[in-house]
Chains A and B, each alone.
Chain A
C-alpha cells in the first residue's frame, strides 16, 4: 500500500530523512516512532503529497505523490499533529465542507456524516461551534473528518497528543475497529509507546533521519533484550533529550520577544 525506497529529504545542508526504505501492506497498522526531530513529520509530509522528496521513490497505492498528488489525496485521510478544524463552524459544517472538497456526493455525504458522528459520539452536539468542543472532542471530529471520504490509508500524526487516557483509549478502539471492519490501512506516529504496542502490527523506529529498527513489537523487544517497548525504544535511540528545530514562526516570535526586551 505504501512503498518507500531510498527516500532522502534535505533542507539545505540538513538531512532530515536519510535514505530510508520500508513498505506497508494493505490493511496493516504501521507505527512510525522516533524522538523529536527524527524525521517523522517530514516523512509523513512526503507521503501525504505536502513535500517533494529530494531523492528516492515513494508509491502510495501504486501512485507517485509528487506527480499524481490529486489522485493520492483522494485515497488518503490525514489527521495532523496540530488541529486543523474551522473553529467558527459547527461539527456538521466542518464535515460537510470536507466532503465537498473531497467530492463526496451530497446524499452519500449526509449518510456517512451521520454514521461517523454517531460512531465518534458527537451526533448530539453536531450543530455546536467547534470552539465550544473539548480537546478530545475536536480530535475525534478530526478523525471522523479524515474518514469521511472513505480513504484507503489513514495517516495519524501524533493523534493523541494532549488527550486524556479515556479519549486515547476510545480513539484507538475506533481506529482498530475501522482497520478491522473497513480494512483501512493505518500509518501512525506517536510518542506513547504503550499505544504503538497496543495497536500496531509492525513498528519502525527512526532516528536522525534513518530507520534504526523495524519489526513487530515482540521482535523489537527481543532484539534489544528489553521487557517493554519503551525500553527497546530507549535502547535503540539513546536517552539524550532532543531539541526539535524551531519553525519560522517560532523563531520570529522568539526574536520579537527578545526585541521587546522580555
Chain B
C-alpha cells in the first residue's frame, strides 16, 4: 500500500510543479468552452435547445479529463527513457501496485485539470441544475479519468518511443472526443453517427456527467455508470497486463 501512496504523491508533486503546463493545457478546453459556448448559443437557442454554454460545459470538462488522462501514458515512455521506470520496477513491490499508484496519480491530476475547467465554466456563467448532482458528477469524472488513464497506460506500455505514442494518440483522441456527444445532443442524429457514438466510451462519461450536472441525460445514470464502471475494470486490467509485460 505504501508504494501506491508514494507513486500517487509523486505524480501530484510533479503536476503541481509544472505550472506552465497546467496553464497551457487549459488553453484548448477554454477555447472550446468560450468560443463554442458563446458562439453557438444563439443558434442552439433558436433550435429550441436552450443555453449552449450550459450544454457544452460538461462535455468540455470531460474532454479535459480525456486529454489529460490519455496523455498520461507519455509519462510512462518518458520515465522509461529517463530510467526512472527501472527504479520502480526493480523495487520489492508487486508490479500491480506500481501500476495502480501511477494510475491513481494520473487520474487524480486529470480530475484536478477537469475541476479547473469547471471553475472557469462557472465563472463564464455555467450553473449546475442542483448541488445534489455534484457527488455523482465527481464519480463520472473519476470514471472517465480511470478509463482513459488505463488506455494511456496500455499504449504507453506497448510502445517505446514518443513519436509512436503521439501518432496513436492523435488517431484516438479526436475521434473519441468528436464522437462522444460532448459538443452535440445525441438525439436526431444520422444512424451511422448514432452507431459510432454508441461504441465510444466517452459518450457514456459525458452523458453521465451531463445528467448529473444539468439533468439532461440521454441514457439513464444507471446505464452510464454500468458501462463506465465495467470499462474501468476491464481496461485497468488490460493496462495492468500490458504493464506487467514491460521488459527493461
Contacts and interface: CB of A to CB of B under 8 A. Distances in A.
Interface in A48-91: 48-51, 70-71, 73-74, 78, 80, 82-89
B92 A73 contact: yes
Nearest to A76: B90
Contacts of B247: 51
For the side of the interface on B, what is the size category?
A: 20 to 34
A100 B84 contact: no
Contact of B3 (A71, A89, A101, A253): A101
A88 B93 contact: no
A25 B89 CA distance: 27
Interface stretch (B10-18, B66-74, B128-136): B10-18
B161 A102 contact: no
Contacts of A78: 90
Contacts, number: 78
Contacts of B6: 96-97, 100-101
A80 B83 contact: yes
A48 B83 contact: no
B45 interface: no
B161 A49 contact: no
Nearest to A77: B90
A73 B10 contact: no
B194 interface: no
Interface string A190-213: 000000000000000000000000
Instruction: Determine the interface band of chain A, counting residues with CB < 8 A from chain B.
Output: 20 to 34
B86 A256 contact: no
A98 B3 contact: no
A108 interface: no
B13 A85 contact: no
B83 A70 contact: no
Nearest to A87: B82
A100 B3 contact: yes
Contacts of A100: 2-3, 5-6
A91 to B, nearest CB: 14
A248 B160 contact: yes
B116 to A, nearest CB: 20
Contacts of A97: 6-7, 10
A101 B13 contact: no
A93 interface: yes
Given A50-B248, A88-B14, A82 B83 contact: yes
B86 A84 contact: yes
A245 interface: no
25 contacts: A48-B90, A50-B248, A73-B92, A80-B86, A84-B83, A84-B84, A85-B84, A85-B87, A86-B10, A86-B87, A87-B82, A89-B10, A89-B13, A93-B10, A96-B6, A100-B2, A100-B3, A100-B6, A101-B6, A101-B92, A102-B91, A103-B92, A249-B81, A249-B161, A252-B164
Interface of B: 2-3, 5-7, 10, 13-14, 17-18, 79, 81-94, 160-161, 163-164, 247-248
Closest 6 CB pairs of A and B: A84-B83, A101-B91, A73-B92, A100-B6, A84-B87, A74-B92
